[in-house]
Amino acid sequence: MNKRDDCGIEVSAQELLVALRREGQARPLKSFPNTPAGHRDLARYLARKGRVVRVCLESTGVYGLDLALLLQKRAGIEVMVANPRAVRHFAQALMQRSKTDPLDARVLLEFAARMPFQPWPPPSTTALHLCALARRLEAITELCAAEKNRLHAARAAQALPAVIRQDLEGSIAFHQRALGRLTRQALKLIASDALLSERYAQLDSIPGIACASAIRLLAELVMLSPDRDVRQWVAYAGLDPRAYTSGSSVHKPTRISKAGNRHVRAALYMPALVAVRHDPHLRAYYQHLLAQGKLKMPALVAVMRKILHAIYGMFKHHQLYDGTKVFPLSARGSAVERLKTLVAVA
């Protein structure tokens, strides 16, 4: 039976700082360059015949992605990519008041040794490329919106020189060309994969979800391991409710945790806004929540969660959107809900 060692790796742009405990003894911290050669040297440093080493990294960006993919392929090395919030709270539980790279590496070592180990499922190359394209599209969309706001302000101020407006118009045109180019590339990538094509069509069948939202949602959801259930999907999106009560006096309003993937929440927001106006089933569900006394924003977040539940069911059962399974309608029930909503709003 293989014996187990534990390892924590603090990743930065230039350096990999490694804390290793082998055979119960902590080794001195060791540094490797964050390069392909450094990754190979690190893998050789960790590998030992007859022993398994559990490696813990933080999920903090792309700087550790190549390393995680390399280590995951090596025999005798198990990789966990931990949630940064979980690691931060773990460090607080260890009474760590300072934050330095050496301390972070040791905290990750203890996290690997003491916390339940969750193996990292590496995404496919297609999924990685689609996610990178979708996040670049999201970033450019935000840049384009900011430039449009600046152009609106520049047009309102006649004192500014015309060259400012011309430059902003050129910048917007440049970003819009980039959006079109990257969107075509993302659609081409989706069309090359049968499963992605099927899921894109399923997302496109939901009222409120069009090309841009479908690409963004598909890119984030395809990164999830297939064995996750719908509750884990909701938690992954940070849409799970977070209650806050204590004794008889502290009863704060229930809010979503926002502890998950912000890109999924952002991709669901606009489709939910459109759906409550144009889809009769989701509109009835939204009005039902308002009639129960929910405020508009919590009700809209509940619609986002309902859409995510619908997507999970569509992917699992290979079906297009069916509003009757989301929130069935009845003539009497719809009239009653509309009346209640009018009373609540009044």
Mean model confidence pLDDT for the chain: 91
Whether residue 256 has pLDDT greater than 70 = yes
- In the chain, % helix, strand, coil (3-state, to 5) comes to 60, 15, 25
pTM, entire model? 0.86
Q: Residues 68-90: what's their mean pLDDT?
A: 93
Instruction: Specify whether the CB–CB gap between 126 and 192 falls below 8 A.
Output: yes
Q: Cα–Cα distance between 194 and 297 in angstroms, integer?
A: 37
- Residue 56 CB coordination number (10 Å): 27
Could you tell me how far CA 310 lies from the centroid of its own chain? 18
pLDDT class for 341, splitting at 50, 70, 90? low
Name 77's bridge partners: 53
Min mean pLDDT across 1-10, 87-96, 179-188, 219-228 is at: 1-10
The pLDDT value given to residue 215:
97
Rounded Cα distance, 81 and 64, in Å: 9
Nearest to 225 by CA among 99, 121, 311, 104: 121
Largest CA distance in the chain: 78
Res. 334: pLDDT tops 60: no
Q: CA-CA distance, 113 to 120, in Å (whole number)?
A: 16
Give residue-wise pLDDT tens across range 197-239: 999 999 999 999 999 999 999 999 999 988 899 999 999 999 9
Q: Is 214 exposed, middle or buried (0-12, 13-18, 19+ CB in 10 A)?
A: buried
